[in-house]
Structure 1
Amino acid sequence: MIENFEQLLNSYGYLAVFVGTFLEGEFALLVAGFFIKHGFLEPLPTLIFSILGALVHELIYFFLGRWKGRHFLLGNKYTKRKYRKMKSLIQKYGIFSLFIIRFMYGMRVVPMMLMGASGFNFYKFLFFNILSLIIWAVLFLYIGYLFGHVATMLFGEAKHYFFIVGMVVAVIGLLIYLISFSYKKIKA
């Protein structure tokens, strides 16, 4: 079973990192950091694919913001409330608000759309967004790596435990994501 998992990670691990950071972000990085610690993934490609996944996600919303941002953001109560909060943050800190927003869980869509809708210079946005993504990805990959280190201390070098722990963490993260996503849909 472990061999199949290793083979799966060797074939699709970086694609999974890309998709994970495209969809959610922090949790995907924690799991990827765990797998880096145990040799299932290499650090540099994991970092690159995690940054690319999040960047593609945010560029989509940035350009969606350019296209129909204000109309969409002011169209329902949920995004209208977040719109006001993010607008004041962006007005106060400008492009540096990307660094603040990066570490506010659940705030990836509205700020990117708002920056697109408010006419931020694309190249300036791209530069500071990539810079903040690098800091974000390194931090969360390192935390996942430390989690993997703790798992090694608890379970030794038994790879089948790493698979079980990794899968339990992945399932719990997926459940949290689905519950959060459902809650937002119900609330909206």
Structure 2
Amino acid sequence: MDSFLAWIANNPSYAHYLVMGLACFEALVGIGLFISGALLLSVAIFLYAQQLASVEAILFFAFIGATIGDQSGYWIGRRIGPTFHTSKFAARYRRHIERTEALIRRYGWGAILIGRIIPAIRSIVPLITGISGYNGLKYLFFDLLAVGIWTLLLGAAIIGTSGLFAS
């Protein structure tokens, strides 16, 4: 991690792209299961504490990246939804899938918000929401709200813990 942070310090012009990429990748279906939000938080804190990027810029690019990741997952889910429901996997777990989709339809905005805040399910909820056929415009609205709340929490974490990386 030290060599990675040293690379960032020596290449500050890439900082915004890195924040946006990490925020996007941690939200993407499949990739998000392997890219930890802790990495984004560590990089963001480092950038802020070393004065390589302002907190406003970090949050702006994190918001954009997270929104792109979430929306990609949703639209992938919408695209594969009909095929997914006829797959062997869906047949095997039909009861669980039906229950999850019913929860999303009933508590859509809450599921979207919780899905954005909890790292373990962050990349899965947009996909399941898309598969369930949840309205795209409603998803966009609630996702932007959820990403906004997540961004504020990220900002609080950056400012609250930036002393850990201060020089």
TM-score, with normalisation over the residues of structure 2?
A: 0.73
Aligned pairs, number: 151
| Post-superposition offset of 1:88 | 4.5
Check conservation: 2:115, 2:125, Cα contact below 8 A.
yes
C-alpha distance in 2 between matches for 1:15 and 1:139: 20
Q: Which amino acid counterpart does residue 43 of structure 1 have in structure 2? A: V
Mapped to 2, the partners of 1:150 and 1:53 lie a distance apart of: 25
1:52 aligns with 2:64: yes
Query: How big is the alpha-carbon RMSD for the aligned residues of Structure 1 and Structure 2?
Result: 3.0
Moved over 6 A (4+): 1-4
Give the match for residue 139 of structure 1: 153
Give matches, 1:54-69, under 5 Å. Answer: 54-69=66-81
What is the CA-CA distance between 1:138 and the residue it aligns to?
1.8
Q: Is the 8 A contact 1:30 1:141 kept in 2?
A: no
Choose the corresponding residue for 2:124, options 110, 116, 119: 110
Unaligned runs of 5+ in 2: 28-36
Offset of residue 23 of structure 1? 1.4
**CA shift for structure 1 position 150:** 4.2
Selected match of 1:8 from 7, 11, 26 = 11
Contact 2:63/2:148 (8 A) holds in 1: yes
Structure 1: which 5+ residue stretches go unaligned?
A: 153-158, 160-188
Q: Which amino acid aligns with 1:50?
A: A
What amino acid is aligned across from residue 123 of structure 2 in structure 1? Answer: V
Contact 2:26 2:69 in 1 (8 A): no
- Whether contact under 8 Å (1:83, 1:111) holds in the other structure is no
- Could you state the TM-score of these two structures normalised by the residue count of structure 1? 0.66
Q: CA deviation at 1:62?
A: 1.0
Alignment of 1:26-45 (within 5 A): 26-27=37-38, 28-45=40-57
One-letter code aligned to 1:89: L
The one-character-per-residue Cα deviations of 1:121-148 (angstroms, maximum 9, x if unpaired) are 2222111101111111221232133222
CA distance in 2, matches of 1:97, 1:141: 22
Secondary structure at 2:121 match in 1 = coil
Q: Which moved more, 1:33-42 or 1:16-25?
A: 33-42
1:59 Cα deviation (Å)?
1.3
> Does structure 2 conserve the Cα–Cα contact (< 8 Å) formed by 1:22 and 1:57?
yes
